[in-house]
Structure 1
Amino acid sequence: MAAPLSAWPWEFLGNYKLAVYGLFLGKAMYKRYQEEAMDQINWCLHIFIICMLRLFVHQLWSSYSSMLFLTRNRQINKQGVDFNQIDKEWNWDNFVILQAIIAALVLYIFPTFETPSVWSKNGLTAALVLHVAVSEPLFYTVHRCFHGEFLFTRYHSLHHSSPVPQPLTAGNATFLEHLLLAVVVAVPIIGTFAIGHGSISLIYAYVLVFDCLRCFGHSNVEFIPHQIFDAAPFLKYLLYTPTYHNLHHVEKDSNYCLFMPLFDALGNTLNKKSWEEQRKNSLNSGVNGRVPDFVFLAHIVDMSSAMHAPFLVRSMASLPFHTRLYLIPLWPISFAVMLVMWAKSKTFLVSFYYLRNRLHQTWVVPRFGFQYFLPFAAKGINRKIEEAILRADRLGVKVISLAALNKNEALNGGGAIFVKKHPNLKVRVVHGNTLTAAVILRELPHDVTEVFLTGATSKLGRAIALYLCRKGVRVLMLTLSTERFRKIQKEASADCQKYLVQVTKYQAAQNCKTWIVGKWITHSEQRFAPPGTHFHQFVVPATKPYRRDCTYGNLAAMRLPEDVQGLGSCEYSMDRGIVHACHAGGVVHSLEGWKHNEVGAIDVDRIDLVWEAAIKHGFKLISDTKHKD
């Protein structure tokens, strides 16, 4: 049974708790249009605005701490934020609602607060004095009490259950803890009003600075130069650092202060390693950290998916991507960013995870999907991919895997042009399509005798056709190019060539219930499939499921091994812990320590070998068939 006051009263409401903000806004609008209220302060409006600003402050800090391309060398705890931590901190914003409700109750009980000034020259000074004299020692005392066995187990352990401090971790605590924190926040504000120096600007300034400092301490990014403390040693007792607070999460019986280490020094609870660790982290900020064994070079798909990046809204990135209506107003911003990225930008790091204690990173080429199909953009895109490969080579990365359009055959021959241009590369360049082909083939029914294949002369289509004809499966290859078909057919042995059949129209598949889609097909083209057809696919973007009497597979994908650590974002539309098969193929290449480059045409003889290696390392096939409702 949960301890009293540990759960939040509105926990049962889920996301409907956000309606509380709507109540404040509605009340504010109602008061705004009441003539008798025009001469009074619209407190409901101010409470609503402050709540929105507080959420924005936390989001900005969260985005900054997750921008690995800026902060990777400044991170204190190098471990990634995983799905488990994100879920635990999902309701981090409960305290904003709580303090808004408390503020409304205080204003109702003490209506004398109705007519404060906008600014008071002595207000901030008075609030600062009250903060130092009351709030700091009060928080220190209460916080230290919560580290006693009884209170820690029942209340404070939730806050410390997050292995990697983050700005949103600051709000992740029990109801009782935030009730007491509300008192800490309220004392300087109410005290300043009580002595006649209160103002509207004071409330805004104190609350937002309070939140900024809390997020700063939990940011897990050390950006305070140690030279400041060397020049003025007394400053280290006036303002804590992210390193200082991080030590509290690691060694729980020290560094209890709110913002000022002075009180830890007075209480003899100051961790002796605080300044040494801060100096060390500051010095390391200019040094490249651990080199990843594997890099997956991804790209942005469209305007909507660009907002699915982990450093924007981490809760959204932790779920499979789909277009959300509330993001539509942000499209102009996404479009503007695209133009800037198109003009001048570099490949950047967006996420990482550990597997077998090896670091795996995802870099992103700053190009949107449609740009890959613009003839004049090809040279620039290849230049960015080449720069990423050369950078990985300089760093000492072992394997770099190209995602989707980054290995487009028409663009760079599946990565072959980079290997040919730079024959002395130490990093292995991998397109990962061998495992993609293996996954598609393993998803086919064991008793299949005939398949219909679109995109039949592509890199994947060719490999799938040649593999199936060896198994005696008849492959209807949709292509208008007889020359390309004949070239593939000649690669098959003489006794298998009869299983490869060229077709030029979708009508040829009217009696075939197994379609392998490598080229986007329209609604009218899908009509030729007989009822009960299953559409396997390797086309990007995935084919839309129009037929109610058919089933559709997602893009070829595999579930990562269970010992993956630090993974906290979904790969495009994939579920948690699932990556595209080409991504998994690159990981397998790295884990196996293979020394060859996997570029250009797929080696059909290696399909079974790569599949067995993936299974050996704990990768699992995903059963993702879904029915169109």
Structure 2
Amino acid sequence: MVAPLSAWPWENLGIFKYLLYGPFLAQVLYSRMGEDTAKSSWCLHLLIIWGLRSFTHVLFGSFGNMLFLNLSRRIIKQGVDFKLIDREWDWDNFLILQAFVASMAYYIFPILADLPLWNARGLITVLMLHIGASEPLYYWVHRHFHGKYLFTNYHSLHHESAVPQSFTAGHATFLEHLILTIIAGIPILGSVWLGHGSLSLVYGYLVMFDVLRCLGHCNVEFIPYRIFEILPFLRYLIYTPTYHSLHHTEMDTNFCLFMPLFDAVGKTLNSKSWQLQKEINAECGKRRVIPDFVFLAHVVDLTSSMHAPFVYRSLASLPYTTHFFMLPFVPIAFMVMLAMWAWAKTFVVSFYNLRGRLHHTWVVPRFGFQYFLPFAAAGINKQIEEAILDADKLGVKVISLAALNKNEALNGGGTLFVNKHPNLKVRVVHGNTLTAAVILNDLPKDVKEVFLTGATSKLGRAIALYLCRRRVRVLMLTLSTERFEKIKKEAPADCQSYLVQVTKYQAARTCKTWIVGKWITPREQSWAPPGARFHQFVVPPILPFRRDCTYGDLAAMRLPDDVQGLGSCEYTMDRGVVHACHAGGVVHSLEGWTHHEVGAIDVDRIDLVWNAALKHGLKPVSTS
């Protein structure tokens, strides 16, 4: 049975809970037409405050996930996984509650309608009431919520979040936030009752209250320890992210709201609070944990650039799609893009842990269209080279290149860097061997004939050679007889007859298995017979134009179930699914292989890599 007041009244409404703000908006619009102006002003202020407070939590959430800035300042080193994100999905329920409580206060305290913009005495009053009432009351209530009954039925929900972030501050039961609302309201209503209230006080106190709550939960220690060495008394007046994080790991200590003074008086102060903060400050900028594996990704376009954990983690935890409410932020993304070009350094955006090995995703600050500009090639290769050299210097074992970072025309599938730096200790991997294996193992076991576009590409060549060895007839679409003959000569003499050059799509009118390595138009798809299946390794994926045919996804694999700290989706992939080239690098790292995987695909290794992937718990998406 659910404990009383533990569930939120609107928890079953989902996204429709935001319609609860409708009456406030309606009141503002209705009153603007000549009705109660004071009431509409109060509703307008509540909506503005809601926006400011929401933005505060999102801003701190973004900062907490900016691993390229604060990876070495993280207090709890675990990654933020999907379970934690889903658990805290409705973190903003308390803002709806407090908006309704504030609207009720308007009727109970009519003086709220006549608040001045500023009252200097209110600042002193609210500070006195906060220190003298809110802080000790919260400390007393918080300690009682760690009692057996209250903790089990209410407060344990908040402590289920292993890695606190700003959204964790709002993740609690209805009863807890009801009490917190009363505690936060004491200084404001007290100041108003004493005649010292003002609109700036209401705005300032509530926003600062959230700022300090987010500060304690952000999991990034950014407050310099030197401040407390110069002014020791400050350590009792304001807590730090480290201080509050210790409450989540050692729950019988550090109960205060914002002031450690009350923990000192109550003898619940954790003795490690400031020493740990000092150690984290001392380690700032140092790589304490070196990843075994790095996936070097790239940005696709402006809208997808916002699909990153440090923009908004909830969106990043879902497969990428264009959200219309994000379009107004495209100009900001464009400005960030220019800054990234000027900075011209790769940056880490996410990490996860697999079999005790840390895996990072680094991003080259270049957008997809740039890879097709001839004059940009040298700059892009320079950034990729710098990333490889940085990984080599750090002691990374394997670095895997994403799709455009290993483009054949750009750097020969990574051969440029390996040839230029023959003494690299880090292994450079393009992952295409596993990509080919995923595509090949998705084909019907009894297939006799396939139609292959992009036939002379790196992947097309490997697929054609592999299939002809299995006595599968391959219709290779290419206008270059020279390239076709070169590939044909690589096949065993008794298998060469299974490779057939074709120059038109009409040649595949009776072939029901298409492998698409070059983007094809709906008109070109029309040549496939009904019931055909389009397997593909082309970026972007082809449009599913034919309703009488089926379309395979891009080559991808699902990571093992024991992966830890994974909380963002890789572009359009589902949760826990990564592109095959990414998975290929993971397998390379787990197997401890010491060779570079660059340039042409070794057809003899396709089955070897596939079996290694399955051995380590990776699964093809189609059967996982």
TM-score in terms of structure 2 length: 0.99
Query: Which runs of structure 2 are paired with 1:581-592 in the superposition (5 Å)?
Result: 581-592=580-591
What's 1:615 paired with? 614
Determine helix, strand or coil for the equivalent of 1:33.
coil
Q: CA separation in 1, counterparts of 2:33 and 2:119?
A: 28
Query: Which runs of structure 2 are paired with 1:37-76 in the superposition (5 Å)?
Result: 37-38=36-37, 42-76=41-75
What's 1:15 paired with? 15
User: How far 1:624 moved relative to its partner?
Assistant: 7.8
Q: CA separation in 2, counterparts of 1:382 and 1:118?
A: 56
Q: CA separation in 2, counterparts of 1:400 and 1:39?
A: 62
Give the letter aligned to residue 552 of structure 1: Y
What's 1:354 paired with? 353
What's 2:6 paired with? 6
Instruction: Output one character per residue of 1:29-81: Cα deviation in whole Å (capped at 9) or x when no partner.
Output: 221221x5346771000000000000000000000010000010100001000
Q: In 2, are the aligned partners of 1:297 and 1:363 still within 8 Å (CA)?
A: yes
What's 2:544 paired with? 545
Instruction: Output one character per residue of 1:545-600: Cα deviation in whole Å (capped at 9) or x when no partner.
Output: 11111111111000101110000000000000010010000010001111100000
Give the letter aligned to residue 16 of structure 2: Y
What's 1:28 paired with? 28
Instruction: Output one character per residue of 1:518-549: Cα deviation in whole Å (capped at 9) or x when no partner.
Output: 11111111111111111111101111111111
Instruction: Output one character per residue of 1:171-204: Cα deviation in whole Å (capped at 9) or x when no partner.
Output: 0000000000000110000000000000000000
Q: In 2, are the aligned partners of 1:435 and 1:585 still within 8 Å (CA)?
A: yes
Q: CA separation in 1, counterparts of 2:117 and 2:231?
A: 35
What's 1:115 paired with? 114
Give the letter aligned to residue 538 of structure 2: V
Q: CA separation in 2, counterparts of 1:151 and 1:554?
A: 49
What's 1:326 paired with? 325
User: How far 1:112 moved relative to its partner?
Assistant: 2.8
What's 1:389 paired with? 388
What's 1:511 paired with? 510
What's 2:183 paired with? 184
Query: Which runs of structure 2 are paired with 1:64-143 in the superposition (5 Å)?
Result: 64-143=63-142
Q: In 1, are the aligned partners of 2:28 and 2:40 still within 8 Å (CA)?
A: no
Q: Larger deviation: 167-176 or 275-284? A: 275-284
User: How far 1:430 moved relative to its partner?
Assistant: 0.2
Determine helix, strand or coil for the equivalent of 1:346.
coil
What's 2:275 paired with? 276
Q: In 2, are the aligned partners of 1:554 and 1:624 still within 8 Å (CA)?
A: no
Q: In 1, are the aligned partners of 2:31 and 2:40 still within 8 Å (CA)?
A: no
What's 1:342 paired with? 341
Q: In 2, are the aligned partners of 1:226 and 1:279 still within 8 Å (CA)?
A: yes
- 1:559 matched to 2:532? The reply is no
TM-score in terms of structure 1 length: 0.98
Q: CA separation in 2, counterparts of 1:234 and 1:37?
A: 49
Q: CA separation in 1, counterparts of 2:296 and 2:336?
A: 20
Q: In 1, are the aligned partners of 2:397 and 2:427 still within 8 Å (CA)?
A: yes
Q: CA separation in 2, counterparts of 1:31 and 1:248?
A: 47
Q: CA separation in 1, counterparts of 2:495 and 2:2?
A: 67
User: How far 1:225 moved relative to its partner?
Assistant: 1.4
What's 1:596 paired with? 595
Q: CA separation in 1, counterparts of 2:69 and 2:288?
A: 13
Give the letter aligned to residue 297 of structure 2: A
Give the letter aligned to residue 298 of structure 2: H
- 1:444 matched to 2:443? The reply is yes
What's 1:408 paired with? 407
Instruction: Output one character per residue of 1:315-361: Cα deviation in whole Å (capped at 9) or x when no partner.
Output: 00000111112122222222232233234421000000000110000
Distance 1:4 1:38, change over 3 A: closer
What's 1:527 paired with? 526
Q: In 1, are the aligned partners of 2:460 and 2:517 still within 8 Å (CA)?
A: yes
Instruction: Output one character per residue of 1:463-497: Cα deviation in whole Å (capped at 9) or x when no partner.
Output: 00000000000001111111101100000011101
Q: CA separation in 2, counterparts of 1:396 and 1:256?
A: 41
Q: CA separation in 1, counterparts of 2:474 and 2:617?
A: 31
Q: CA separation in 2, counterparts of 1:287 and 1:306?
A: 27
Q: In 2, are the aligned partners of 1:451 and 1:474 still within 8 Å (CA)?
A: yes
Q: Over the residues paired in the alignment, what is the CA RMSD in angstroms?
A: 1.1
Q: Larger deviation: 615-624 or 483-492? A: 615-624
Q: Report the identity percentage.
A: 69
- 1:197 matched to 2:196? The reply is yes
Instruction: Output one character per residue of 1:418-451: Cα deviation in whole Å (capped at 9) or x when no partner.
Output: 0000001110000000000000000000000000
Q: In 1, are the aligned partners of 2:398 and 2:588 still within 8 Å (CA)?
A: yes
Determine helix, strand or coil for the equivalent of 1:159.
helix
What's 2:481 paired with? 482
Q: CA separation in 2, counterparts of 1:608 and 1:39?
A: 74
Q: Larger deviation: 404-413 or 12-21? A: 12-21
What's 2:215 paired with? 216
Q: CA separation in 2, counterparts of 1:193 and 1:42?
A: 17
User: How far 1:247 moved relative to its partner?
Assistant: 0.6
